[in-house]
Amino acid sequence: MQPMEDRMAWLLDAGTPSIVYQVRRDLTLPRSSARELQKAKKGIMQAGAAPAILERQSKRGNWKIDRGYYGPKFYSTHWSMVLLAELGADGSDGRFRRGVEYMLGATRDPVEEGLEQKTFGWSCLYGNILRYALQAPVTKDSRVENLIRFCARAMAAGPCDCRYSYGRACAWGAARVLWGLAAVPKRSRSKEVGKAIRLGIRFLLEDHRLEKADYPGGRVNPLWFKLSFPLFYHADILFTLRVLDEVDALDHRGARAALDWLEAKRRPDGRWKGTSPFRTRTWREMGDPEETSRWVTLQAMRILRHAGRRV
């Protein structure tokens, strides 16, 4: 295996400022100074994918390529906002906030209807929207509060029953909803949100096996066993471990086999090989195959470090 210094140098040679920032924040030893961190964080909005994606935004807050906020995949407003959340874009930036406002307005009625009728389909969509909505510094907003309620109740229903899983519980939906709920500040979590997070952990790690994907819904999508970035409405073992890390569940006994699986995917040089199944269907500024491997290596190393394992 390469020495840690060589792997860090490779990661810091990334063309994506978001990777550089996260490596400096989460992985480098000795830790980066506050000045270095601030500089790296500012770089996210100055170069690379985030400003390139935002350049295509209209003044209304949606994306000029839109055929509705959900299409075309994976360029339109919703997907661009998911990417900006993954990139760690500045949530206080006016363009990001316009994107959030546009999506909250576009989905207000179906969210309210779902709450009223107690139907919680498309939970993966609303979990993603909640994630990037909470990245913006919003004041009390009934639309955000309704999104939180919708996601919490979707988790309790099934969890995340989906017609594409033949009406059964959906692991993709559960992972995406948990990603959204994980962004609710701990001090602000209601009892309902806390219960939903516990239900999500139980479904993913106790009722089923993460590394086997023995979840309801029929045949397992092969993407589940890939190391991919970015994914959109999907989830895989890597993404799910990232989310479980955010809700402090990596020490759960049900996560051990999945962490073993992740460690076993490490190459002899200490890196992980990433895949990008939708590279040709989203913004090209997300990078080339080597940049994808940097993303995946960063995420795998952070997960293993937080789990107390060798990186």
pLDDT score recorded for residue 191? 98
Domain housing 202: 4-306
What pLDDT does residue 16 have? 97
Residue 261 lies in a domain: yes
Task: Determine the pLDDT at residue 282.
Answer: 98
**Amino acid sitting at position 110:** P
> 81-84, long-range: CB within 8 Å, 24+ apart, which pairs?
81/129, 81/132, 82/128, 82/131, 82/132, 82/230, 82/232, 83/49, 83/53, 83/230, 83/282, 83/283, 83/286, 84/50, 84/53, 84/54, 84/132
Judge if the upstream peptide bond of residue 3 is cis by omega within 30 degrees of 0. Answer: no
Express as a percent the part of the chain with pLDDT over 70.
Answer: 100
Task: Label residue 80 by pLDDT band (50, 70, 90).
Answer: very high
How many CB atoms sit inside 10 A of residue 231's CB?
22
Q: Is the pTM of this model over 0.75?
A: yes
User: Tell me: the pLDDT tens digits for 168-201?
Assistant: 999 999 999 999 999 999 999 999 999 999 999 9
CB 5 within 8 A of CB 285: no
pLDDT digits (tens, 9 = 90+) for 115-173: 999 999 999 999 999 999 999 987 789 999 999 999 999 999 999 999 888 889 999 99
Q: What is the CATH number of the domain that holds 23?
A: 1.50.10
**Residue in the block written with tokens 């839109």:** 66
| The pLDDT of residue 106 | 98
Confidence of residue 43 (pLDDT cuts 50, 70, 90): very high
Domain presence at residue 206:
yes
Average per-residue pLDDT in the chain?
Answer: 96
Give domain status of residue 22, yes or no.
yes
Question: Is 173 domain-assigned?
Answer: yes
- pLDDT of 30 reads 76
* Number of structural domains found in the chain: 1
Task: Please list, in sequence order, all residues whose beta carbon lies within 8 angstroms of the beta carbon of residue 214, skipping any fewer than 6 positions away.
Answer: 208
For residue 311, tell me if it sits in a domain: no
CB 234 within 8 A of CB 194: no
Question: Residues of the chain with pLDDT > 90: what percent?
Answer: 90
258 pLDDT more than 80: yes
The pLDDT value given to residue 164: 84
* Residue at 20 is within a domain: yes
